Structure 1
Amino acid sequence: MRLCFLVEEQYRRDGMPMAVIGQLAAWGHEVDLVRPGGSLLSLAETISAGRHAAWVLKTVSGGPGLSLLEAASSVGLRTINDVRAIRLVRDKVVAAAVAHDRGLPVPATHAAPRAELFAELPADAFPLVVKPADGSNGRAVRLFERPEQLAAWPDGEGMVIAQPYVPNTGLDLKVYCVAGDLYATESRSPLRPDMPRHERPVPLTAELAALAAEVGRVFGLDLYGVDILLGPDGPVIVDINDFPSFRQVPDAVPKVSQAILDLARADVPEVTELWPAAHSGLLTAPEAV
């Protein structure tokens, strides 16, 4: 089988996905490695029907690889994850809206082009967790105790979101899904740099397993991670990632490699499975009044 991996520069030395590429090659499969941020590509040669069994993306949220993945999908090539599912979770504004609509436990979310606009929220909305809508890997996640502190957020392009701080132990629960198999780890929150580094596998309760599986069903993901906080009112989803690191997952490399092969061979799901009827309003223009 021939596969194409789109890998951003910052992941070129990471176990995910480089070790997976090595594993697939060791199993006798051919893997083309494309650097979306540093390669000159002939689209006619690189993206052609029948050339690859599947395309796999490992880039930062705002990286250029997603456009190439969408180009491959547009000519009928299999992508892992489905490119429409990746789009849903890469933009945290969209992800929060879909999660809220489907009844998933997510914090109340506000969006703005500048963080200082969150100062218009009532005082009891603070403390607020603010993050870029296209952020990943905990990048630029900050906690603001008071409205006047928001001026410290750097100016930049793109939307930012704000969510109320969920009281917790300082440890995030990460649930990883490898084509239906679920694994849980806990690690230090990016908001608690004062705590020692901490990352280890933990048991996964039936409640949290059901919640993580529902995230995959709602968003149409096969390989993904869900960041969950165990707050005073129960579990709260604070982030969803396509193709995460799978750190602390036992035998992650062969498991993810095998999942990619299985997904590449599987029948392509119908669009309605990824965009249920309940979400048809996201794609349909509102009726004229």
Structure 2
Amino acid sequence: MRIAIFSDEIGWHTRQLQAALRARGAQGRCVDLADCDIDLARGVQGLSIPGFRERLPDAAIVRGIAGGSFEQVTKRLGVLHALRELGIPVYNDARAIERSVDKSMSSLLLHAAGVATPPAWAIESPQAAQRLVMRESAARRALVLKPLFGSQGHGLQRVGWVDGAHLPLPALDTPGYGRMAYLQRFIAAQAHDWRVLVIGGRARAAMQRVGSGAGQWIHNIAQGARPVRAVLTPELAALAEAAARALGMDYAGVDLLPSSAGPQVLEVNGVAAWHGLQRVTAFNIAQAIVDDLLDRRMARSAQPARSA
């Protein structure tokens, strides 16, 4: 079997996946989606994928999609959509990635599925967003302003009622916010949050991400937090599994935060990194992902579409 690993960078994660595929007698080839084209003249079933000129991959794992213009990203996602339509299992597919990368859509789908998640708003009007911040601040509540498509804790700001004073919304033309406000109600600062990894619909591993210092409310490993092994309780497992199911994901990194009302799902990552989690997890995470792809996803792929 020949598996495409779509990634815009080669590193630890792609090497782990390639080793796991080799252990199952499969070959993993890393391909940047930016180098893939829709080519109706010479492509295989309309697609030109480096390393797969004669036939399409048997399956694909999405590890990363490079940023770019709206048109470039649309084309890259279009390649993933096309593979799915041609019967190729894509793990996670474009629909799942679109749902997770757009924080407002994630919040909407989680809310619709009854998954505990903080109230959130996506607003284009600066005036309307500022009025919301004023209302929340008057109620002594803070909000977190996040880039709609951001990751790794970059660009997060608290606004509203913060440390006993009102902090107004910054200008939305600041780079990173795309002239709109995605705001999520702030949950009182905790010393840690949880990352739960869901594979094939089942929560498999968990860690606490412990902040780098007193009062630190951003718990991303990329922002200095440290991973600590956590007990995967039935409550955390059920909530993470429900979140992954709501977004239709094959695998997901689900971020949860403790609150007075119980754990709340903050975000669901559809291209989840697991380097930090692997440090506190006994089993090989890449192998578990590959096994799920080969044993579950490929087993239920549309065989008539492939043989045609």
Give the alignment's TM-score, normalised by structure 2: 0.75
Aligned twin of 1:282: none
Distance 1:153 1:227, change over 3 A: farther
**Aligned partner of 2:231: which letter?**
P
Aligned twin of 2:13: 16
Distance 1:197 1:102, change over 3 A: closer
State how far apart, in whole Å, the 1-side matches of 2:296 and 2:154 are. Answer: 30
**Aligned partner of 1:2: which letter?**
R
**Aligned partner of 1:203: which letter?**
V
Are 1:139 and 2:154 counterparts? Answer: yes
Note the C-alpha offset of 1:221: 1.4
State how far apart, in whole Å, the 1-side matches of 2:193 and 2:87 are. Answer: 38
State how far apart, in whole Å, the 1-side matches of 2:154 and 2:80 are. Answer: 23
Are 1:188 and 2:210 counterparts? Answer: yes
State how many pairs are aligned.
264
Q: For the Cα contact (< 8 Å) 2:5–2:60, is it kept in 1?
A: yes
Are 1:171 and 2:168 counterparts? Answer: no
SS in 1 for 2:105: helix
Aligned twin of 1:220: 248
State how far apart, in whole Å, the 1-side matches of 2:140 and 2:126 are. Answer: 14
SS in 2 for 1:234: coil
Note the C-alpha offset of 1:253: 2.5
Aligned twin of 1:82: 93
The more displaced of 57-66 and 16-25 is: 57-66
Aligned twin of 1:148: 168
State how far apart, in whole Å, the 1-side matches of 2:66 and 2:243 are. Answer: 19
Are 1:33 and 2:61 counterparts? Answer: no
Q: For the Cα contact (< 8 Å) 2:88–2:301, is it kept in 1?
A: no
Aligned twin of 1:265: 298
State how far apart, in whole Å, the 2-side matches of 1:267 and 1:81 are. Answer: 15
The counterpart of 2:259, out of the listed 206, 211, 231, is 231
Q: For the Cα contact (< 8 Å) 1:53–1:264, is it kept in 2?
A: no
Distance 1:71 1:160, change over 3 A: farther
State how far apart, in whole Å, the 2-side matches of 1:98 and 1:61 are. Answer: 25
Note the C-alpha offset of 1:191: 3.5
Note the C-alpha offset of 1:231: 0.8
CA RMSD of aligned residues (A): 2.9
Matches within 5 A, 1:23-172: 23-37=20-34, 39=35, 41=37, 43=39, 44-45=43-44, 46=48, 51-60=56-65, 62=67, 64=73, 65-113=76-124, 117-121=128-132, 122=135, 123=137, 124=139, 126-144=141-159, 145=162, 146-148=166-168, 150-151=170-171, 154-155=174-175, 156-157=177-178, 159-172=180-193
Structure 1: runs of 5 or more not aligned: 270-289
Note the C-alpha offset of 1:261: 1.9
Q: For the Cα contact (< 8 Å) 1:57–1:66, is it kept in 2?
A: no
Distance 1:23 1:102, change over 3 A: closer
Note the C-alpha offset of 1:17: 3.0
The more displaced of 242-251 and 153-162 is: 153-162
* Cα-to-partner distance string for 1:202-239 (whole Å, 9 max, x where unaligned): 00111111111112222221211110000111111100
SS in 1 for 2:258: strand
Q: For the Cα contact (< 8 Å) 1:178–1:223, is it kept in 2?
A: yes
State how far apart, in whole Å, the 1-side matches of 2:66 and 2:148 are. Answer: 9
Q: For the Cα contact (< 8 Å) 1:141–1:191, is it kept in 2?
A: no
Q: For the Cα contact (< 8 Å) 1:5–1:33, is it kept in 2?
A: yes
Distance 1:196 1:2, change over 3 A: closer
Note the C-alpha offset of 1:109: 0.7
State how far apart, in whole Å, the 1-side matches of 2:204 and 2:4 are. Answer: 25
The counterpart of 1:198, out of the listed 216, 220, 226, is 226
The more displaced of 242-251 and 56-65 is: 56-65
State how far apart, in whole Å, the 2-side matches of 1:147 and 1:119 are. Answer: 11
SS in 1 for 2:263: strand
Q: For the Cα contact (< 8 Å) 1:166–1:231, is it kept in 2?
A: yes
